[in-house]
Structure 1
């Protein structure tokens, strides 16, 4: 009896493994981590006005100095390109994610991430993008782009990320 039960279980496992084919049409994550389950936006498509288009042709992030929320010269250049892109795709709404590195308390980094997201939003608004098209969210240190406890990692985590639609999940 146990041999029959074992054989049935083995067959179910084998068949279950065969039917787990990934449907690439429903995979909405991109290499930038900007996908989102339930977002309704295919962030992997490289069509005009998509997250992939923004990343590939404009840049989706700006970086900040330690404990700072002011936009650097390099950041201004990226945000200038983003503003032009957003003018071209006037139906696109965005969310600006504010991030911090792992140092400091959770509360401090959430506040710093919010200041960074707000600085990015304010720059885009000053460059002609209606504030009604821009939301902000702070993730503080909770979503590092790079793992590591060194300056190179921390520098990549001190960022503002522009996400087409809503925040990444």
Structure 2
């Protein structure tokens, strides 16, 4: 995944990609890290320092000129459809669904569905009560022996029954 799906990941830039548990990441999904940016507050956006030699000596450090958007954080149980692009510094909440071919440029709330370019809110997956119960339960943190017992709840489509069982 690291080679093809995480682009422009230079540790010296300082941002990280943090992915939660039980995420489904479809083929072609890419996470763009902050060092992919270019400076926009000068006449040219070109990263002249990459040419090395005299070119690099005559310009400020390239990475220091880039906007720093912070870590990209993916919650637990997030599903990414095929060929999604996640931009730097975005936070995607637990249980979210990102539609195929979406470009995520802004934070996504837990248990919501987004899609498009740029990705826009489509709908909540569940009502507020169930979302709050799931966020409090944090089933993804259960030890394996308890998680296996919770599987019938996690796969139950009778959401009123799920609320009772949680």
Q: TM-score if structure 2 supplies the norm length?
A: 0.21
Q: Which has the higher helix share?
A: 1
Relative contact order: is structure 1 or structure 2 higher (C-alpha 8 Å, sep ≥ 6)?
Answer: 1
